[in-house]
């Protein structure tokens, strides 16, 4: 059994122990569901009284008492009538039982006299759960079955591991992640804010917008050299287009709808229909293919406010979006070309190949298109991965309904994985049944192109959040909003500092001079807090010799450099996209 599978069993079993403990401490409470999740588990309860996180240690204590009893997890299959009788006082379980398909096996699990409705499996005995390797983390509200019209339940989250040291490592990682929280660093470095009355929409401050534009300009230059042409499509487009694309039927609940002159329009949640409209605007030939459109298009999605998270999960965002219109024969080479571009770009942001994981999502049960089309598309994606030198893990049945896809996950400094890049093969949107994009083939007949949806960074907002947390705000020199601070030692060198400031600015170095009244050490401390890579201390000696005393953000020994040498040093770090300072 793989380690992840063992942990899933362990965590799901721990959730059952938690449910038993809660019912003993809060008699008369109702239980809902309690699955394992990434790094832990949760269980939803309809409690007889509200609980707070201060109550969690008491629940943990009761759980440890149960675990010390070494109880077997006993599985039993029951009839529907038996199940309904067993759980007659548990309305959420009754609803789940009544919703089961006719004839489906109903199983229950019992430990220490506590019985729960569950498919399983579980560990064999509670002794397999280390009483010192779990912790209850927090409580939250959760609607029954995720439906805002249903009762609000209390969700208790926990984490469980095989060994106490594993738990300790995980808690240490969480503590470090809290220090790196992009929302806190965003405030500290004056990068952005989000108004609570305008959830999911970002106000970028000058520092943050500088980083944003550096990344956008970097992407723009990379894709230009890779054969993309940049386009721009309307932010608001009519219902008729979204109906033809299929989004009105499949995605409407995530779209912001508006009306003008008795017609319905939607703020675009994605750019692909607009790119096909550009393709269709004139007659295309097979000689024009592949066509690679790119757009930094502003998109808006009506995400639930409870799902929003800083700049990681927002309503308004921009992707480094692109769509490739090509023939079927061109799929392997285009995907391989994209994978090479992605690897090259990720490396510049500090994510080398060993920190990239590729997930290959294959045909889902509910899909459109023939099996032959799927066979060809999946084979083309697999071949492209080999050509690009990328190993991949299969995710069976996780593809889009219209085609298979590759998802690219990067691992940050804390070992967390973030899914950023993607490329998807789409036979459907350009088809005659949808937006009817056509080109004239070599045979002088009209054909529908294949559409490849692709992004390297994904949402720029989310990627910036990932970068902030990965580097704890101390971004590499080439990315940091301000690269240097000039710090005069005394008033008599301030004029020289002004001349130095202009010289560095003329060399395209992002620099400011701190001419305030604070003492030198306070200015240095402030620059360090703002994560400035270089602090240029200037006294009378430096003024007379045309040098700067360079203090480095990472604490390495101070160096005295000629001004031109410092400029060359910084420009080299920027030109090579050095991941450091």
The C-alpha atoms of residue 255 and residue 248 are separated, in whole angstroms, by 9
Coil vs helix vs strand at 148: coil
Q: Which of 449, 448, 533 is nearest to 483 (CA)?
A: 533
CB atoms near residue 20 (< 10 Å): 23
Q: Does residue 419 have an active-site annotation?
A: no
Using alpha carbons, list the distances in angstroms from residue 162 to 5, 129, 147, 159, 417.
12, 7, 34, 11, 21
Backbone angles phi, psi at 475, to 5 degrees: -70, 155
Between CA 193 and CA 209 the distance in angstroms is 12
Q: One of 453, 454, 462, 510 is an active-site residue; which one?
A: 453
- The question of whether 323 is a catalytic residue gets the answer yes
Q: Which of 331, 402, 392 minimizes the C-alpha distance to 360?
A: 392
3-class secondary-structure state, position 486: strand
Please pick, among 272, 326, 339, 385, the residue that the annotation labels catalytic: 272
Q: Which of 44, 320, 321, 514 is catalytic?
A: 321
Which tokens hold the place of 270?
């994605």
Q: Burial code of 425-434, b = ≥16 C-beta within 10 A, e = fewer?
A: bbbbbbbeeb
Report DSSP letters for 379-409, one per residue. Answer: HHHHHHHHHHT---EEETT-SBTTB-EEEEE
Q: Which of 16, 93, 405, 551 is catalytic?
A: 405
With beta carbons less than 8 A apart as the criterion, state whether 290 and 334 touch.
yes
**Burial, 214: exposed, middle or buried (Cβ in 10 Å; 0-12, 13-18, 19+)?**
middle
Respond yes or no: is residue 453 known to be catalytic.
yes
Residue in 55, 183, 275, 319 annotated catalytic: 319
Q: Is 16 a catalytic residue?
A: no
CA distance 213 to 296: 11
Q: Is 319 a catalytic residue?
A: yes
**483 Rama class: left (phi>0) / alpha (psi -120 to 50) / beta:** alpha
The H-or-E segment that residue 276 falls in is helix 272-279
Cα gap 581→534, rounded to integer Å: 8
CB atoms within 10 A of CB 410: 22
Catalytic residue, chosen from 71, 93, 292, 301, is: 301
- CA 475 vs CA 18, 376, 393, 448: distances in Å: 42, 42, 31, 44
Measured between alpha carbons, how far is 576 from 212 in angstroms, rounded to an integer? 19
Which residues are known to be catalytic? 272, 301, 319, 321, 323, 405, 453
């Amino acid at each position: 059994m793989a380690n992840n599978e063992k942990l899933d069993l362990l965590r799901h079993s721990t959730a059952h122990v938690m449910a038993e403990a809660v019912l003993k401490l809060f008699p008369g409470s109702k239980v809902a569901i309690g699955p394992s999740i990434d790094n832990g588990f949760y269980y939803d309860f309809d409690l007889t009284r509200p609980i707070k996180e201060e109550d969690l240690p008491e629940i943990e204590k009761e759980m440890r008492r149960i675990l010390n009893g070494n109880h077997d997890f006993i599985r039993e299959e029951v009839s529907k009538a038996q199940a309904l009788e067993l759980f007659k006082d548990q309305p959420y379980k009754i609803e789940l039982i009544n919703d089961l398909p006719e004839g489906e096996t109903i199983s229950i699990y019992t430990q220490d006299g506590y019985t729960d409705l569950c498919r399983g499996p579980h560990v064999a005995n509670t002794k397999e759960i280390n009483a010192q390797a779990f912790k209850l983390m927090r409580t939250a509200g959760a609607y029954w079955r995720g439906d805002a019209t249903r009762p609000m339940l209390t969700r208790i989250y926990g984490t469980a591991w095989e060994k106490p040291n594993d738990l300790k490592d995980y808690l240490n990682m969480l503590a470090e992640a809290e220090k790196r929280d992009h929302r806190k660093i965003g405030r500290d470095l004056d990068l952005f804010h989000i108004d609570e009355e305008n959830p999911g929409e970002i106000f970028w401050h000058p520092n943050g917008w500088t980083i944003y534009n550096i990344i956008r300009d970097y992407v723009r230059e990379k894709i230009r050299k890779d054969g993309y042409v940049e386009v721009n499509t309307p932010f608001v487009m009519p219902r008729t287009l979204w109906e033809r694309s299929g989004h009105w039927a499949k995605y409407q609940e995530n779209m912001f709808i508006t009306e003008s002159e008795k017609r319905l329009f939607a703020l675009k949640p994605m750019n692909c229909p607009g790119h096909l409209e550009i393709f269709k605007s004139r007659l295309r030939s097979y000689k024009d293919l592949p066509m690679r459109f790119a757009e930094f298009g502003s998109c808006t999605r009506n995400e639930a406010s409870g799902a929003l998270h800083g700049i990681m999960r927002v309503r308004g965002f921009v992707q480094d979006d692109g769509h490739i219109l090509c023939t079927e024969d061109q799929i392997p080479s285009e995907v391989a070309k994209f994978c090479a571009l992605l690897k090259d770009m990720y490396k510049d942001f500090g994510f080398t190949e060993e920190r990239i994981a590729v997930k290959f999502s294959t045909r889902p049960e509910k899909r459109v298109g023939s099996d032959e089309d799927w066979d060809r598309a999946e084979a083309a994606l697999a071949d492209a991965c080999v050509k690009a030198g990328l190993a991949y893990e299969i995710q069976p049945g996780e593809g889009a309904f219209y085609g298979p896809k590759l998802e690219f996950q990067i691992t940050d400094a804390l070992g967390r994985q973030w899914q950023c890049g993607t490329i998807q093969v789409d036979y459907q949107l350009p088809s005659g049944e949808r937006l009817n994009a056509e080109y004239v083939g070599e045979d002088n007949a009209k054909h529908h192109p294949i559409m490849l949806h692709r992004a390297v960074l994904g949402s720029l907002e989310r990627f910036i959040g990932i970068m902030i947390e990965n580097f704890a705000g101390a971004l590499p020199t080439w990315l940091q909003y301000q690269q240097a601070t000039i710090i005069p030692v005394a008033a008599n060198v301030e004029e020289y500092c002004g001349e130095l400031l202009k010289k560095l600015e003329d060399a395209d170095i992002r620099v400011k001079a701190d001419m305030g009244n604070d003492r030198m050490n306070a200015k240095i401390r402030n620059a360090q807090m703002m994560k400035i890579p270089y602090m240029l201390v200037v006294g009378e000696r430096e003024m007379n010799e045309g040098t700067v005393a360079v203090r480095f953000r990472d604490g390495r020994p101070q160096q005295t450099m000629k001004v031109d040498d410092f400029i060359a040093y910084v420009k080299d770090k920027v030109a090579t996209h050095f991941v450091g300072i």
